[in-house]
Structure 1
Amino acid sequence: MDYSLCYLFGTVFISLFVPFMLYLIPWKKHTSTYEGVPRGKMGWPIVGETLEFVSLGKQGKPDKFMQDRMQKYSNQVFRTSLLMEKMVVLCGPSGNKFLFSNEDKLVTGWWPSTVTKIFKSAPAGKKETKQLRGALPEFLKMEPLKKYIPIMDSVAKQHLKENWCNKREVIVFEETKNFTFELACRLFLSIQDPEFVATIAKHFNFISGGFLAVPIDLPGTNLNKAIKAVETLQTFILPIIKKRRMKLMNKGESVIRDILSHMIIMADGAGMFANDLDIATKLIGLLVGGHDSSSSTITSVIKFLAEYPHVYDQVFKEQREIANSKGEGEPLNWEDIQKMKYSWNVICEAMRLRPPVAGTFREAITDFCYAGFRIPKGWKIHWNVYTTHKDPKYFPDPDKFDPSRFEKDGLRPFTFVPFGGGPRMCPGREYARLVILVFLHNVVNKFSWEKLVPNETTISLAIPTPSEGFPIGLKPHENAMVHEV
């Protein structure tokens, strides 16, 4: 029996037989622990309800876990056990508001043990979170980002020319990951060498796969692959940091001020980071966040445009008008982005139905009450977009793809939360918005397309991932018919 079969057998045994044996053990019940806490069930000993949570995600039904329990126990709050932790899920806009507004008062950030093992660091507390966000340059805010729109446009055009225009078919998820990673390397680290970018990109592909993996660090496991990937990437990035520091010392203000330069300045001047290894690790985390969620969202948008030709036509009309208003070779600018109102509505609806991140975790730092229930100190708390994104009370006919939902200003606060909220709201949300809009402008002006795998499943764990990568057949516009609206 070769190693892969041994590993497969071991995984099946751990997943199926160990929980069964644990169930047979006469565990002592500590009923006082659960007095006054939200209704729900803890599932199997140790593994809790994690297997069902992961299984539904692999089936492309990540919302079912939340909706079933909200219907059975409460649409405000329920308890469960995930990732070997006692956990409470706060539901609906009230739950989102409560959680986002009590950051570092009642709750603090928490990550699964797999994430801390991958990056070898604990979750950032209040002080470190504030410092980390302060270490991110003005670059990630809207005003400074405006000047990077022409670069985004140039990189998108070059990517399509080299990787789409000479093909009849493309694997969308793979290509959009390449594009968003190349762009992040250029804007975050000022790296433009395509061979170097391709070399480190293949290591990044293992990282997010380890976030919700079985927390066993053995050769061949997803967690082990993610840990090794980070260690390898550190060896690539450390020389870049040292080289950039030398340039900063010798040339000062004339050196490009990207995220890397800013972090080095913060480390040397304010002691923000422990050492260069710390900077490298934080940069790897930023690069993961800077391209994974954007590529997933772009893939979702392309999927929905293939399924709804009348929506594609309206996006095409809007983007073609912008393209026709430009001079020969003139890049996109901020004024063009402002005209992409319908396109942004389409992107928002795609993020509502297939959010790039389904939710994150917190830890109760003190006992507190919510909705009449006790949340014990140390319990973990999960907020999940599907407690509002798929609720017909806030989004009528919630499974329907309908960009017109976002034409009004009447969305109830805390119902549409693809970027989270509060002090830990995604700092790269404006960056992601521009990246997605710029790419959409360029791909729609060059192609229409059709799905090649009609019933492809989307696996929803760390990020939504098409099981086949979402292959499409391209139709360059000179040969394509555009549907009448």
Structure 2
Amino acid sequence: MDLFSYLLHLIVLFVSLCIIFLVRRRKSACVKLPPGKLGWPIIGETLEFALGGKNSNPARFINDRMKKYSPIVFRTSLLGEKVAVFCGPAGNKFLFSNHNKLITTWKPPSMEKALLFQSSPPKAEPRGMRSFVLEFLRPDALQRNIHIMDSMARQNINMDWAPQKEVNVYPLSKKYTFTLACHLFISIKDPERIARIARPFHQMLSGLVSLPIDFPGTAFNSAKKGGKMLRHELVAIIKQRRKELSEKEESVARDLLSSLLLATDGNGAVLNDMEISDKIVGIFLASFDSTSTTLTFIFNYLAEFPHAYDKVLKEQLEIAMSKDPEEFLKWNDIQKMKYTWCVVKETMRLAPPAQGTFREAITDFTFEGFTIPKGWKTYWSVHSTNKNPKYFPDPEKFDPSRFEGKGPAPYTFVPFGGGPRLCPGKEYVRLVILVFIHNMVTRFKWEKVVPNEKIIYNPSPFPVNGLPIRLQPHEK
């Protein structure tokens, strides 16, 4: 009797499993996944996408698969995850409009571990904490810092650029933008301390989007070490500032760090040191790489296209001549830099500093007849539109005038993303770039030392030699 009952249970279990398998198989057969291929096990197509060193090219990866599989959406495997890559303005709009509805924020494991982000915070983030960061980066709040940006641009040019006949733009742009961020966000001005923060930051940055292979010598291992050292420096700064605020009983924030330390929700909850360092690292990432990369390629294109340089110079000289020599730029001066801003946008179209962003599907959903299963990752890429002749005629041509008037069609040019997750540092980046370019073009013209310098990606583009240029001061 016991043996019969045991066999009966086994038969029932076997039949149940068969039914479940058949139902799932039938359901899977009805699901229409995006076309594409997953590539190698675990690695997928990661190496071809962004980690191939001198041979990697995200634009080529996206465009080749759009032609081969679908110009709307295709599937691949990146960083060990199944990914649906959304293409074109319709794909951009869909993802930007459905954040926290169908998709949510997701970071590659290499980024999470290198940044040491807390995946399971000990308590929920105080309500509205993101708004404190947004408040600090609002245009009207940033207006108060324009004179600081102008002053620091002049100092940086006098110290690192003007004394030299030949300079490498990329490393100098990185040094300037990082120094400025330290000054404005956390009030660190000492060059030695800035260097202690910069070294691990750059080490971490170089391996953020990498295969999470944790062996000595790998990009991921180096990024983890850099992230740990960076957090050590930031937490020390946070503790010191917390002590200063407590002793002085300050209630008015002087920078982003003070804002985060003073902020509380309705229950008096505050962020701990690691949570605050999360916010600081996040805003550094959002503002630093895009700024230094874009500045570098602006120098590149202004050297290659003298007519664009001449128009920028004319615009900036008109602003400079309307002011006293020692008078700093103001908000209304920035608003007059219309053509210069067109140059910036055309630069970001041809050499986008950010390649795209990952998200995670929080439920099954369909897009253009294709099903994206829950748990899959999604990705939008600037490369699906930036050089598409359908949206940008003669797409390889450097033509800032295409951004005059109404500019390109909606969702075809999205260097800062869109929707609820629009990059909060967008206006900050705009101000930093315009102020620096104003100071450079009113003092110098330049020419490239290496005319056809190769561009590589890691993951943002940069000139392999750092863009060496010869400076030619204007005659007084």
1:304 to 295, 301, 305: 301
Matched residues in 2 for 1:408 and 1:146: separation?
A: 25
> For residues 119-130 of structure 1, what are the structure 2 equivalents within 5 Å?
119-121=115-117
1: CA distance, partners of 2:270 / 2:353: 29
**Cα deviation digits, residues 351-394 of structure 1 (max 9, x gap):** 01111101010111000110001111111100000111111111
Matched, 1:160 2:152: no
Return the offset for 1:129: 11
Q: 1:440 aligned to 414, 437, 441, which one?
A: 437
Deviation of 1:463 (Å):
1.7
Which runs of structure 2 are paired with 1:178-197 in the superposition (5 Å)?
A: 178-197=175-194
Tell me the amino acid that sits aligned with residue 389 of structure 2: P
CA distance 1:323–1:410, change in 2 (3 Å)? closer
Partner of 1:275 in structure 2?
Answer: 272
Unaligned runs of 5+ in 2: 1-24
Which range moves more in the overlay, 87-96 or 52-61?
52-61
Partner of 1:214: 211
Amino acid at match of 2:54: K
Aligned to 1:45: 41
State which structure, 1 or 2, has the greater radius of gyration over its C-alpha atoms: 2
Which of 94, 97, 102 matches 2:98? 102
Q: What is the CA distance between 1:427 and its match in structure 2?
A: 0.4
1:135 is aligned with what amino acid? F
Q: Distance in 1 between matches of 2:120 and 2:434?
A: 31
Partner residue in 2 for 1:317: 314
Instruction: Describe the SS at the equivalent of 2:246.
Output: helix
Deviation of 1:105 (Å): 0.5
Once residues 105 and 28 of structure 2 are traced to their aligned partners in structure 1, the CA distance between those partners, rounded to angstroms, is: 27
Contact 1:131 1:272 in 2 (8 A): no
* Aligned twin of 2:82: 86
Match of 1:202 among 199, 203, 215: 199
- Deviations along 1:435-475, whole A, 9 cap, x unmatched? 00000101111111111122212212322222111111111
Alignment-derived partner of residue 362 in structure 2: 365
Judge conservation of contact 1:59–1:457 (CA < 8 Å) in 2. Answer: no
Task: In structure 1, give the amino acid aligned to 2:168.
Answer: I
The letter for the 2-side match of 1:363 is E
Please say which of residues 215-224 and 31-40 is displaced more in the overlay.
Answer: 31-40
* Equivalent residue, structure 1, for 2:457: 460
**For 1:443 and 1:30, how far apart are their aligned partners in 2?**
65
Deviation track 1:9-40 (CA, whole Å, cap 9, x = no partner) reads xxxxxxxxxxxxxxxxxxxx999489410111
- Residue in 1 aligned with 2:448? 451
In percent, how many aligned pairs have the same letter?
A: 53
The 1:304–1:132 alpha-carbon spacing in structure 2 relative to 1, beyond 3 Å, is farther
Match of 2:11 in 1: none
Provide, for residues 133-178 of structure 1, a one-character-per-residue CA deviation record: whole Å limited to 9, x for no partner. Answer: 2231622000111111010000000000000010011111100111
In the alignment, does 2:420 pair up with 1:423?
A: yes
In the TM superposition, residue 44 of structure 1 has moved relative to its aligned partner by 1.6
Amino acid at match of 2:242: R
Change (3 A) 1:313 1:272: farther
Aligned residues, how many?
A: 450
Matched, 1:69 2:70: no
Separation in 1 of the partners of 2:127 and 2:305? 42
The 1-side partners of 2:248 and 2:404 are apart by 49
Q: RMSD of the alignment, in Å?
A: 2.4
- Given candidates 341, 346, 356, the residue that maps to 1:349 is 346
Distance in 2 between residues matched to 1:383 and 1:398, nearest whole Å: 20
Letter in 2 for 1:246: K
Q: Which amino acid aligns with 1:340?
A: M
Is the Cα–Cα contact under 8 Å of residues 137 and 262 in structure 1 kept in the other structure? Answer: no
SS of equivalent residue, structure 1 residue 80: strand
SS in structure 2 at match of 1:361: strand
**Structure 1 residues not aligned, in runs of 5+:** 1-28, 480-485
Cα contact 1:230–1:284 (8 A) shared by 2: no
Question: How much has 1:59 moved relative to structure 2?
Answer: 3.6
SS in structure 2 opposite 1:478?
A: coil
Q: 1:432 Cα deviation (Å)?
A: 0.5
With the length of structure 2 as denominator, give the TM-score of the two structures.
0.89
Higher deviation after alignment, 146-155 or 469-478: 469-478
Q: Tell whether the 8 Å contact from 1:451 to 1:471 is kept in structure 2 after alignment.
A: yes
Partner amino acid, structure 2, of 1:42: L
Aligned to 1:140: 137
The match for 2:110 is: 114
SS at match of 1:205: helix
Q: CA deviation at 1:185?
A: 0.5
2:302 and 2:161 map into 1 onto residues whose CA distance is: 17
In the aligned structure 2, how far is the partner of 1:171 from the partner of 1:66? 31
Alignment partners' CA distance in 2, 1:140 and 1:111? 23
Match of 1:257 among 254, 259, 262: 254
Partners of 1:303 and 1:130 in 2: how far apart?
Answer: 44
Match of 2:291 among 291, 294, 303: 294
Deviates more, 1:261-270 or 1:315-324: 261-270
SS at match of 2:40: coil
* Residue type at the aligned position of 2:282: G
Give the Cα–Cα distance (whole angstroms) in 2 for the partners of residues 138 and 274 of structure 1: 17
Aligned partners of 1:137, 1:425: CA distance in 2, in Å? 11
Corresponding position of 2:17: none
Q: 1-side partners of 2:312 and 2:138: how far apart?
A: 26
Q: Distance in 1 between matches of 2:165 and 2:320?
A: 24
Higher mean C-alpha deviation, range 94-103 or range 444-453? 444-453
Q: Which amino acid aligns with 2:80?
A: M
Partners of 2:226 and 2:266 lie apart in 1 by: 30
Q: Write the distance in 1 (CA, Å) between the matches of 2:342 and 2:61.
A: 27
Aligned AA (2:470): G
SS at match of 2:378: strand
Q: Bigger shift: 313-322 or 265-274?
A: 265-274
Give the partner amino acid of 2:104.
Answer: T
Specify the SS of the correspondent of 1:416: coil
